[in-house]
Amino acid sequence: MRKIFKTSMAVALSVCMAAALTACGGSGSSASSEPAAEATEAADAAEETADTGAKIKIGGSGPLTGPAAVYGQAVKNAAEIAVEEVNAKGGLQFELDMEDDAHDPEKAVTAYGVLKDWGMQVSLATVTSAPGAAVSPSYAEDQIFAITPSGSSPAVVFADPDNLSGAYGNVFQMCFTDPNQGSASADYIAAHTDLGSKVAIIYKNDDNYSKGIHDTFVAEAAVKNVEVVYEGTFDDSNAQDFSVQLGQAQDAGADIVFLPIYYDPASLILTQANQMGYKPTFFGVDGMDGILTLEGFDTSLAEGVYLLTPFSADAEDELTVNFVNAYKEKCGGEIPNQFAADAYDCIYAIAQACEAAGVTADMSSDEICTKLVEQFTSMTFSGLTGEGMTWNENGEVTKSPKAVVIQNGVYVGVED
């Protein structure tokens, strides 16, 4: 799983990595491909903004504390790196404010109010889906353009997610959607029979993210003749003991356990399966990215776990290598996960759109929103998490998830 990216981004990243020596930051360049005349006009507008010292205010919220903090901190760190890189070029200038919502919808609504009072003009929305579903109506009502790095539920972009209708129109996703993850996981398992032939699913029934992936996985598994022999659920009230679900999966003969859940409960499932002596192939999705940095978890139990993600930190293209090095320099040697890569791409996609549209810091948020919606629904963007990405009018991105496997304590891209 290797990706080739524009050389200009990689070179700019290398030049500015020195900024990471004293803080969580690095450098790079956006992947813009506009006609020369428009590029000149946009560059002039951006230079004028830089000369005045004005900055476009980008807000967002995520779990900077609490059980899901691995996700929020990754997004914050990578977004800071990208903002420093964009600002270092001397043209377009950004200012970033990430508020803590602790993966709680009510706190996300409060964070939105804080960001609005601050003067937010563009947003990274929320890191996780449930808070995103809570605040997306406000972004739509106030006409502030938002693109979430990792809020993958349809409820983030659709007012009626069950029928995939009522798109907000100004709330976009950098991550691939839950339905895409579910169907892609079923397709991958169907095509790789060496992983196993009988599938058990353990999912969280009170979580839009988990249930959405489960539903599309089951539907696609039926089409691809993937045998699902057991389905077990849990919710917040019983998310500590998975012995019943694991025992029933084992009794059903499941040699693959599909986990469309976040890394925290997944770590408990892996630990308890090991205690039972149950050793199926575990297959997860992007919510499990972060399990290797979970405090107190024995990462040896994750050996051989597969998951789908658009980013592999072991990729050897120049952009990925430089980003990983900058992130590690900023964050004490920590390897960036997919959430970090998506956040980094969000900032660069916003920069590309702003430059193409001639957005300046003195514009109102609704004026900027109109311009960015026009750009995102017509432009092509290449970054860490994919080449040639596009967005439809609903805000959904088109890009493909790929498989990685955990080997020797790191994510390794699976080559087909």
227 closest CA partner among 194, 255, 246: 255
* pLDDT: which is higher, 172 or 48: 172
The mean per-residue pLDDT over the stretch 105-119 comes to 98
Fold classification of 7-176+313-399 (topology level)? Rossmann fold (3.40.50)
- What is the pLDDT at residue 41? 52
pLDDT (tens digit, 9 = 90+) per residue, 188-210? 999 999 999 999 999 999 988 89
Residue 28 has pLDDT above 50, yes or no: no
* C-alpha distances out from residue 240 to 24, 231, 243, 278, Å: 34, 18, 9, 18
Residues 382 and 196: their CA atoms lie apart, in Å, by 35
CA dihedral (136, 141, 144, 145) positive or negative: positive
Q: Is the pLDDT of residue 94 over 90?
A: yes
pLDDT higher than 90, residue 85: yes
pLDDT tens-digit series, residues 344-360: 999 999 999 999 999 99
Domain positions in the chain:
7-176+313-399, 179-309
For 368-388, write each residue's pLDDT tens digit. Answer: 999 999 999 999 999 999 889
% of the chain at pLDDT higher than 70? 87
Same fold flag, 7-176+313-399 and 179-309: yes
- Per-residue pLDDT band for 24 (boundaries 50, 70, 90) equals very low
Q: State the Cα–Cα distance between residues 263 and 267, nearest whole angstrom.
A: 6
Q: Just give the CATH number of 179-309.
A: 3.40.50.2300
Residue 34 class from Cβ within 10 Å (0-12 exposed, 13-18 middle, 19+ buried)? middle
Output the six-digit token pair for 336.
């960036």
Q: pLDDT band for position 287 (50/70/90)?
A: confident
Q: What is the mean pLDDT of residues 81-91?
A: 96
- Calculate the average pLDDT of the chain: 87
Task: Work out the average pLDDT over 213-242.
Answer: 96
Predicted local confidence at residue 29, as pLDDT = 33
